[in-house]
Amino acid sequence: MSFSITSFFDSFKSALLYAPVTIKLTAITFVVSLLLGAVIATVRNYRVPVLSQFFAAFVTIYLGLPTMVALLLYNLLFMTFYSDVAAALHISVPISDVNPIFIGYITLIIGTTCSVSESIRGAFRGIEKVQYEAGYSIGMGKFKTLTRIIFPQMVPILLPGMQNSLIGLLKASNLVSAISVVEIMTGALLPSLMYYSYLEGYVAAALVYWMIGAAIEILAHFAEKNSGKYLKRTA
Amino acid sequence: MGNYFSAERFINVFPKVISNLSVNLHIVFWSMLLGTILAIFVAVLRIRRVPVISGLLGIYISFMRGTPLLVQMMIAFYGIPIVLGNLFLNLFGINLNRLEPVIFVEIAIILNEGAFLGEIFRGAITSVPSVQAEAGYSIGMTGAQTFYRIVLPQAFKVALPHYGVDFIGVFQNTSLVFILGVVDLLGKAKTLGAATGHSLEGYLSAAIIYISFSLFLKGVFLLIENRLNNGTAKAV
């Protein structure tokens, strides 16, 4: 057995065909997690009673749970309880018609929300109190100050961390292959199953992931260059 | 939940699952030990800017950071026997195809950690202001003395929190190894589930063990950090 270039190209083409699945999974999860993470971080930053304690405990505990364990657990819960819940809600879609990628979305969104909320909480600390006071002094409310003054200033602080989260999420999205979602890795293996050319399949998958990761890095580089402009002008 | 979950089964399964924690810890121990050593070399070579090697290391780090660990494990599992199989068979008489999968898992994690920890160490060493090294030179220390006595202790403090996070990450990443057939926490939970037809208790045990051990590790690293900060006055 040796490395065959033709099966590598077959796998590469097949992997590219399924790249949109991974990109969509990564992008949607990232945007939703960013919004939810911002809400959780804001709640914890303003110390909203009950909610902030709940989120603090939840985030701390949940960050200890590996994505793979969560994924298998949710998948199992879904398999076990789907028919009961569907019957109670009068949903007539059989379990075989439900795409398992939904479980992937839920798992990745909860996990990423927790880690992103921690980064955003860190960014809150990077904003001086004067900035809030400046907003209040010209008659802005709490919410307006937050969206118009505080959040925009957090962007340059957050960008490097967000780049890491996004690449981490891209890699974590690979785990959904364990619940039989066809994404880049399983896509690259489809031709391999016929010829037992597994190494070629995995190398092809790695190459596609690497390309997407490099694209994210380039985009993040441009974003970082542009977002900090107002800081550099004053310095 | 009735039929799906029973406390009795859970109490029965939990000790069986936790007994396989040693498999995960074995992987974590060897991967972190050898990964740290590899990372020190990576960091030093990157800082020294050794011409060709530095460029190659850049590609290596980019690959390790840009591809999923599971894919790396699979490449190690299928690739190493193909590339090095004949060599090992002729030289040492070892058939790589017969090796335990856990060895390939460890090789993959070691290489992965070499890149991640290498970047952490490099960042920590370069974060020490150059004035500190100059202070060492000014009192007549040699390059090596300055590095070991002045730069390294300060860099260690910078690197430690990141090292702790990475350590916990490696522990959590061991949850992938069951895919290659290593019977770890999840592997045990899975086999027990297949044998009894009730998987929920096993997975729940694995989740509880992962969460509590991660929190435990976090606590240990916080303790070490506080110890280290004892000597310094609190700034700000």
Please report the pLDDT score of residue A137 as a whole number: 93
Number of C-alpha atoms within 13 angstroms, CB side, residue B236?
Answer: 0
Closest CA to A119 of A147, A145, A157: A157
Buried b (16+ CB within 10 A) or exposed e, A115-151: bbbbbbbebbeebeeeebeebeeeebeeeebbeebbb
Instruction: Show Cβ contacts of residue B77 under 8 Å, excluding neighbours closer than 6 positions.
Output: B101, B104, B105, B108, B180
DSSP class of residue B50 equals -
Domain spans of chain B, in order of start: 21-182
Q: Tens of pLDDT along A175-211?
A: 999 888 899 999 999 888 877 788 889 999 999 999 9
B200/A66 touch (CB, cutoff 8 Å), yes or no: no
Of residues B205 and B230, more confidently modeled: B205
Please report the pLDDT score of residue B8 as a whole number: 81
Please report the pLDDT score of residue B196 as a whole number: 82
Tell me how far CA of residue A182 lies from CA of A8, A32, A169, A227, in angstroms.
18, 22, 17, 36
Closest CA to B18 of B189, B193, B177: B189
Please report the pLDDT score of residue A167 as a whole number: 92
Asked if B56 and B63 touch (Cβ cutoff 8 Å), the reply is no
Q: Could you say which of B63, B68, B204 has the minimum Cβ distance to residue A171?
A: B68
Q: For the domain A5-234, what is the CATH code?
A: 1.10.3720.10
Chain B interface, best mutation among A11, A65, A85, by max B CB count within 10 A: A65
Please report the pLDDT score of residue B99 as a whole number: 80
Q: Tens of pLDDT along A59-115?
A: 999 999 999 999 999 998 888 888 788 888 887 777 777 888 999 999 999 999 999
| Burial of B1: CB neighbours in 10 Å, binned 0-12, 13-18, 19+ | exposed
Number of C-alpha atoms within 13 angstroms, CB side, residue B149?
Answer: 12
Please report the pLDDT score of residue A233 as a whole number: 58
Q: How far apart are CA A16 and CA A201, in angstroms?
A: 12
Q: Out of A160-164, A185-189, A194-198, B205-209, which region has the weakest mean confidence (pLDDT)? A: A194-198
Q: Tens of pLDDT along B23-40?
A: 999 999 999 999 999 999
A202/B74 touch (CB, cutoff 8 Å), yes or no: yes
Please report the pLDDT score of residue B230 as a whole number: 67
Residue A95 tokens, joined? 């379990």
Of residues A92 and B181, more confidently modeled: B181
Please report the pLDDT score of residue B85 as a whole number: 77
Please report the pLDDT score of residue A95 as a whole number: 78
Residue B236 has pLDDT above 50, yes or no: no
Instruction: Show Cβ contacts of residue A8 under 8 Å, excluding neighbours closer than 6 positions.
Output: A197, A200, A203, A204
Mean pLDDT for B191-217 is 90
> With bands split at pLDDT 50, 70 and 90, how would you rate the model's confidence at B234?
low
Q: How far apart are CA A187 and CA A205, in angstroms?
A: 8
Residue B6 has pLDDT above 60, yes or no: yes
CB atoms within 10 A of CB A53: 12
Q: Chain B residues contacting A, CB < 8 Å?
A: 4, 62-63, 65-72, 74-75, 78-79, 82, 168, 172-173, 175-176, 179, 186, 199-200, 203-204, 206-207, 210-215, 218
Q: Tens of pLDDT along B153-168?
A: 888 888 998 999 999 9
Q: Out of A42-56, A216-230, B47-61, which region has the weakest mean confidence (pLDDT)? A: A216-230
The fold adopted by the segment(s) B21-182 is MetI-like fold (1.10.3720)
Residue B231 has pLDDT above 70, yes or no: no
Residue A147 has pLDDT above 60, yes or no: yes
* ipTM reported for the complex, 2 dp: 0.87
> With bands split at pLDDT 50, 70 and 90, how would you rate the model's confidence at A232?
low
Q: Tens of pLDDT along A12-33?
A: 999 999 999 999 999 999 999 9
Q: Which residue of B has its CA nearest to A57?
A: B215
Please report the pLDDT score of residue B1 as a whole number: 45
> With bands split at pLDDT 50, 70 and 90, how would you rate the model's confidence at B232?
low
Mean pLDDT for A117-122 is 92
Q: Which residue of A has its CA nearest to B206?
A: A69
| Residues of chain A by 3-state class (helix, strand, coil), percent to 5 | 85, 0, 15
Residue A235 has pLDDT above 50, yes or no: no
Residue B133 has pLDDT above 90, yes or no: no
Q: Tens of pLDDT along B47-96?
A: 888 888 988 999 999 999 999 999 999 999 988 888 887 777 777 777 77
Q: How far apart are CA A71 and CA A137, in angstroms?
A: 48
A198/B214 touch (CB, cutoff 8 Å), yes or no: no
Distance from CA of A213 to the nearest CA of B (A): 5
Distance from CA of B146 to the nearest CA of A (A): 32
